[in-house]
């Protein structure tokens, strides 16, 4: 697995997006070398039979959801320029021994960003393949020494309508809140992303810090994180409050259960002409299904 800090990457070292796809075989090999890091010796990138050709950088950065910047897929790219991501502070609180306010660089140090290619699946039946740069959450959370009472970890997005025009609407109950069970947060696949395509994370994609949980729907990928809170009760998350019959806390990809307004068993990958079958847990079942043994994934959606 390639490891490099985004801030240390020189322009001459960045692979142009139009050449990035040619690196796919190399990255699969590199992922295989690091497979021992994951349960069952499986690579982090994805199921071995899946086509992981990355979606174009243009599509990733111009067609996405970031409701704080607007409800249209093109709004984030249009309005992201108003978001100031330096300096950036993350508040840590709740059931932990080391709460406080941490500068972004302190949150990330001394870890180095890893390059991973993950699928991103959205409930609207579209998907992308994104070459993320980020740090496994499991390497960051222990530094705050969560206590035995910490059953969940809750994340909160920046609330600043002057920078985020979508927050001037009543579309959602701001600020945006998302959460994970601690075992989900500590899974090796869970990533705090700081970049994509070898570059610093663009504002419209959640700069400077966003969550990536590849086996869940994209609405679980909270962006522009300013607070991490360790909780004992399950967090009340934004979409579960807004549409409890449509967006559950777990957000695991389950193609056998339709969204109330559309089918989930097929998806169209951006850039492709035809639709493809949606995979359980977005194709990561071998790595993560054990987290949900005994749970009814139709009720715990």
Residue 156 and residue 177 in contact, taking contact as beta carbons nearer than 8 Å: yes
pLDDT over 50 at 240, yes or no: yes
Distance CA 193, CA 78 (A): 21
Q: If you classify domain 6-291 with CATH, what class do you get? A: alpha beta
Q: Indicate the range of 40-44, 52-56, 137-141 predicted with least confidence.
A: 40-44
Give the whole-number percent of the chain exceeding pLDDT 70: 83
Strand order in the sheet with 89-94: 100-103, 89-94, 225-231, 152-157, 177-181
Residue that the structure tokens 């997005």 belong to: 157
Q: What is the mean pLDDT of residues 202-213?
A: 98
Residue 81, pLDDT > 60, answer yes
DSSP annotation of 31 reads: H
Residue 263 near residue 277 (C-beta atoms within 8 A): no
Q: What is the pLDDT of residue 50?
A: 57
Give the pTM: 0.85
Mean pLDDT (the chain, rounded): 87
Could you tell me if 151 and 222 are in contact, meaning their C-beta atoms sit under 8 angstroms apart? Answer: no
Average of per-residue pLDDT across 235-259? 94
Token pair recorded at residue 90: 């993350």
What are the tens digits of pLDDT across the range 210-224? 999 999 999 999 999
pLDDT band at 31 (very low <50, low <70, confident <90, very high): very low
């Amino acid at each position: 697995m390639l490891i490099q800090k985004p801030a240390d990457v020189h322009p001459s070292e960045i692979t142009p997006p139009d050449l990035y796809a040619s690196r796919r075989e190399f990255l699969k090999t590199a992922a295989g070398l690091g497979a021992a890091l994951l349960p069952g010796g499986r690579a982090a990138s994805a199921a071995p039979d899946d086509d992981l050709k990355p979606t174009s950088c243009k599509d990733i950065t111009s067609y996405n959801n970031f409701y704080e910047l607007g409800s249209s897929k093109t709004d984030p790219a249009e309005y992201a320029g108003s978001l100031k991501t330096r300096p950036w502070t993350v508040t840590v609180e709740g059931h932990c021994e080391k709460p406080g306010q941490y500068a972004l660089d302190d949150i990330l140090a001394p870890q180095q960003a890893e390059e991973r290619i993950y699928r991103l699946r959205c409930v609207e039946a579209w998907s992308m393949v994104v070459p993320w740069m980020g740090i496994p959450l499991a390497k960051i959370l222990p530094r705050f020494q969560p206590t035995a009472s910490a059953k969940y970890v809750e994340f909160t997005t920046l609330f600043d309508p002057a920078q985020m025009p979508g927050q001037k609407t009543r579309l959602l109950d701001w600020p945006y809140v998302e959460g994970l069970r601690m075992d989900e947060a500590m899974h090796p696949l869970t990533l705090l992303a700081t970049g994509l395509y070898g570059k610093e994370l663009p504002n419209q994609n959640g700069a400077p810090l966003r969550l990536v949980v590849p086996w869940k729907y994209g609405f679980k990928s909270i962006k522009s994180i300013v607070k991490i809170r360790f909780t004992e009760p399950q967090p009340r998350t934004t979409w579960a409050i807004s549409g409890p019959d449509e967006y559950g806390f777990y957000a695991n990809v389950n193609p056998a259960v339709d969204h109330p307004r559309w089918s989930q068993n097929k998806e169209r990958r951006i850039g492709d002409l035809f639709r493809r079958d949606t995979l359980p847990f977005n194709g990561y079942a071998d790595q993560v299904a054990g987290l949900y043994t005994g749970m009814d994934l139709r009720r715990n959606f």
